[in-house]
Amino acid sequence: MALAGDRQLADAVDAIEFARINSLTILFGTDEHAAFETYLARMPADLVERWRDLLTGGARSEAFGPLTLQERIDETQVTEALKSGRRQRIINVTVALVVLIGAAVGGVVGWNALNDQPARTQGTLRFAATPTTIAGGAVPGGVPAADPALTTGLSRDVSIALGDGPPEDRIVKAPFADFLYPPGAITASLFSYAGVGEVVFVGPSGFPDRACLVASVATSDLRPLDTVWYGNCLDPIGRQATVRCIGSDALILDVAIPEGEVELPEGGTGFADALRIQSISDPGNKYEVLSARGTISVAADSAVTIPAFGGKVGDRLTFDLDQGRLGSCVLTDAPIGS
């Protein structure tokens, strides 16, 4: 209509008739052509025929002579374009269905493969295969050698200020001066002695006489399986720990590390996958919780095992937990596995 300029155009409600009686040219670009094919697919057959007539330059009747070669070519091109559009839509729908079916089959196969994986039989905290028998009053195992993968500093500050409201809204960063032993002052590592789990603590001189220490064997989602406490604890959690070895700057506590699946009190089952350790300071009148914490854990597919050490009652053992963390203690006569 814009190209018609000042020419008077006859009115017609029907778009095809309007173009025909006014001898208007219909201009198609690539995008318009692609869009128009989708419209044709939804048109009734008689309307498609009228549009095809219009696109070929007018009525297809040969009453005034046979169609010219160009007219026949134009008609053929329009017909082929319509067929091509329909074929492409069929191909697109078919490809989409194949992709959906492939994705569904792949999902089923992946799910079955996941479920076909062998069931777990033990936790990631696993003991090395060492003798547990006592020969001549001594437990075999050799000199203690800490594994860095099973060693951690109690360096994470977990402090909650006194006050009202949810505890998570009262988490603060406490200054080092408020701690009895600030974050990073104590390091812990995991060992075994006669087949029993042992947590070795190395710290400042005299810390075994003053500290409150808590160790908890836990599942991967941190459900506690065994929790022990030691020292000057205002609110003890779990059971009192058995002291395996004690000195001025090193301390060893027994922890129960189950090798198989464990029934949880709240329901379900779990495996020993982590050891959580904390040094708890007196919160005073400023904090609800004041502690330095660390966690020992390894990946499910890791080959790391808990190293063993040996000795007999009265032996002095030295533990090197890396980065200059050295401490020594004397083996006690505590019952093994108590």
Name the burial class of residue 213, with classes exposed (0-12), middle (13-18) and buried (19+) by CB atoms within 10 angstroms of its CB.
buried
Please give the Cα distance from 277 to 258 (Å, whole number): 17
pLDDT in tens, 316-329: 999 998 767 899 99
Can you give the C-alpha Rg of the chain in angstroms? Answer: 41
pTM for this model (two decimals): 0.64
| Residue 160, number of CB atoms within 10 A of its CB | 18
Name the burial class of residue 102, with classes exposed (0-12), middle (13-18) and buried (19+) by CB atoms within 10 angstroms of its CB.
exposed
Please give the Cα distance from 124 to 120 (Å, whole number): 10
pLDDT in tens, 134-164: 766 788 888 899 999 999 999 999 999 999 8
Please give the Cα distance from 51 to 42 (Å, whole number): 13
Please give the Cα distance from 236 to 240 (Å, whole number): 8
pLDDT in tens, 198-220: 999 999 999 999 999 999 999 98
How far from each other are the two terminal CA atoms of the chain, in whole angstroms? Answer: 99
pLDDT in tens, 100-142: 887 887 776 666 655 555 677 778 888 887 666 676 678 888 8
